[in-house]
């Protein structure tokens, strides 16, 4: 999922960024890539909606399927991050 936002107030924007780092990776100042199940998505969305001003701010959630995710390209700075593998050391 890609989450991007346009928040007018600096303090709210900072609060929103602090929430978002708990759910995904920041890839641009107001853009996060998140891998969430339905429950985590709803929890994140609820937290976001408590911060934003519904009259001035905008948050968009783009769900990417596995095939779509594989077609992402980056121009300029930034890197594509592979899914982190779970490693178990015994």
Q: What percent of the chain has pLDDT over 70?
A: 84
Q: What is the pLDDT of residue 71?
A: 75
Q: What is the CATH number of the domain that holds 10?
A: 3.30.70.240
**Does the residue 41 lie in any domain?**
yes
77 domain-assigned: no
Whether 23 has a pLDDT exceeding 90, the answer reads yes
pLDDT for residue 86 = 46
Query: Per the domain annotation, does 75 fall within a domain?
Result: no
pTM of the model: 0.80
Higher-scoring residue by pLDDT: 27, 78: 27
For residue 50, what pLDDT is reported? 97
Count up the domains in the chain and report the number.
1
Domain range for 20: 2-69
- Tell me whether residue 32 is exposed, middle or buried, using C-beta atoms within 10 angstroms of its C-beta: 0 to 12, 13 to 18, 19 or more: buried
Whole-angstrom CA distances from 33 to 27, 74, 88 are 7, 13, 25
């Amino acid at each position: 999922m890609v989450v991007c936002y346009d928040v007018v107030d600096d303090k709210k924007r900072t609060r929103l960024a602090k929430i978002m780092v708990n759910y995904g990776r920041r890839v641009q100042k107001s853009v996060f890539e998140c891998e969430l199940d339905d429950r985590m998505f709803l929890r994140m969305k609820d937290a976001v909606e408590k911060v934003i001003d519904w009259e001035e701010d905008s948050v968009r959630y783009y769900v990417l399927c596995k095939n779509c995710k594989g077609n992402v390209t980056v121009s300029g700075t930034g890197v594509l991050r592979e899914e982190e593998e779970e490693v178990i050391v015994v």
